[in-house]
Structure 1
Amino acid sequence: MYTGFLHLHSYLAYLVIIGITISFLYALFGALSNREFTAKDQKFGLFGLIPTHIQLLAGLVLYFVSPLGVSNFGSHTMGDATSRLYALEHPLVGLIAVILITVGYSRAKKISVSRNRYRSIYVFYGIGLLLILSRIPWAAWLS
Structure 2
Amino acid sequence: MYTFFKNFHSGFRYIVFILVLIAIIQSLAGWLGKKPYTNGNRKMNLFAMISAHTQLLIGLILYFLSPLVQFASSTMKNNELRYWTVEHISMMIIAIVLITIGHSRSKKAVAPEAKHRAIAIFYILATLVIVVAIIQSHRPLLGMTN
Which residue number corresponds to residue 9 of structure 2? Answer: 9
Shift of 1:90: 0.5
Which residue number corresponds to residue 132 of structure 2? Answer: 134
> In the aligned structure 1, how far is the partner of 2:44 from the partner of 2:7?
26
Matches within 5 A, 1:38-117: 38-68=38-68, 71-117=69-115
Shift of 1:46: 2.3
User: Unpaired segments of 5 or more residues in structure 1?
Assistant: none
Deviations 1:82-141 (A, max 9, x none): 111100010011011111101111110111011111010011101111111211334276
> In the aligned structure 1, how far is the partner of 2:119 from the partner of 2:19?
13
Matches within 5 A, 1:112-123: 112-123=110-121
Shift of 1:47: 3.6
> In the aligned structure 1, how far is the partner of 2:109 from the partner of 2:32?
17
The AA in structure 2 aligned to 1:3 is T
Runs of 4+ in structure 1 off by over 4 angstroms are none
The AA in structure 2 aligned to 1:30 is G
> In the aligned structure 2, how far is the partner of 1:25 from the partner of 1:116?
15
TM-score (norm 1): 0.91
> In the aligned structure 2, how far is the partner of 1:65 from the partner of 1:24?
33
Q: What secondary structure, in the 3-state scheme, does the structure 2 residue paired with 1:16 have? A: helix
Which residue number corresponds to residue 19 of structure 2? Answer: 19
Contact 1:24 1:126 in 2 (8 A): yes
User: Unpaired segments of 5 or more residues in structure 2?
Assistant: none
> In the aligned structure 2, how far is the partner of 1:17 from the partner of 1:112?
27
Shift of 1:72: 2.9
Provide the identity percentage.
38
> In the aligned structure 1, how far is the partner of 2:90 from the partner of 2:83?
10
The alignment yields a C-alpha RMSD, in angstroms, of: 1.6
TM-score (norm 2): 0.89
